[in-house]
Amino acid sequence: MPQARQLAETSILTATVPRQFVHRAAVAETFLTGWRRTGADRFAVSAQWPRAHGLHVSPDRRAYEPLLVVETVRQSGTLLAHTEYDVPLGHHFVLQEFEVDTSPEHLAVGPVPAEPTVEVHFAEVRRRAGRPAGARYTAEVLLAGARVATARVSFTCVAASVYDRLRGGRTPATVTVPPPPPGLPPEVVGRMLPADVVLAPSGVQDRWRLRIDTAHPVFFDHPLDHAPGMLLLESARQAAWARMPSGGTPAAFRSVFHRYAELDEPVWIEAFDGEGTDMRIVAAQGESTFFECRVVRAEE
């Protein structure tokens, strides 16, 4: 095929990294395209962002959502843990902290897919019996010469056998998830489709029930036995939208994950006033708080 050979010789062909390295089942949800080492525990990760996406691009297709930055940084850390620090495939990653500050003015969707670079520094790698057991890393996301975001992430990782013991036999096959309740109107939480709304009314002001829809193709890209971190961050984003009647885009997230959120028990999301226009979002199940997030509105 002469045309294919000519294309390979004259163009740089781009493909995603193996989806298993970023814990995704769908190639369409794999945003990374490569990586290289730039120094001791320092790496440059390349990515490509689609111009249209059900969650990560605004409904008018003019801007990338800050949570796309979060997912790109998450994938970057997972990729490097597997490829550069020898964490075996099949290990489970557990988020502990995720802080990100984005600059929405640099997140406009252009005429071609954006191709950011994520500069990652693994500041700490914790080991157990010679294997990585967790890490802390920082990331800077650069796009067209501008710094789009900075992030700080901490996670642990455990072997599948250890994870199974920790979960006490709870698996995607053994957990029965009740149908999600009707959600808020999409426009109240900055979404276009009802299926993307993750908050349901509770009858109490500034308090909502988390809608857990295991058929959602992004939050549940593959079967899980607990609510994923990106779903919890989206709940914080939507709660902030619901509390911002005067407008303003959530631009920074300072989140802490205390424990797993079970799929078969009600989860309650509550919003509290923070400093200035900031908000504190808390997620609870039973009597326990398992997720906290400070959401910062972009400066007008």
Confidence of residue 2 (pLDDT cuts 50, 70, 90): very low
Q: What is the residue extent of each domain of the chain?
A: 2-165, 169-297
Q: How far is CA 40 from CA 46, 77, 121, in A?
A: 18, 15, 9
Q: Give tens-digit pLDDT for 237-276.
A: 999 999 876 656 789 999 999 999 999 999 999 999 877 6
Q: What is the mean pLDDT of residues 65-87?
A: 96
Q: Give tens-digit pLDDT for 105-160.
A: 999 999 999 999 999 999 999 998 888 899 999 999 999 989 999 999 999 999 99
Is the dihedral angle over the CA atoms 88, 153, 37, 105 positive or is it negative?
Answer: positive
The average confidence (pLDDT) of the chain is 91
In CATH, 2-165 is 3.20.20.70: no
Q: How far is CA 242 from CA 37, 79, 176, in A?
A: 42, 34, 29
Q: What is the mean pLDDT of residues 31-55?
A: 96
The reported pLDDT for the residue numbered 131 is 81
In CATH, 169-297 is 3.90.550.10: no
Q: Please name the residue that has the structure tokens 């062909």.
A: 13
Do 2-165 and 169-297 agree at the fold level? yes
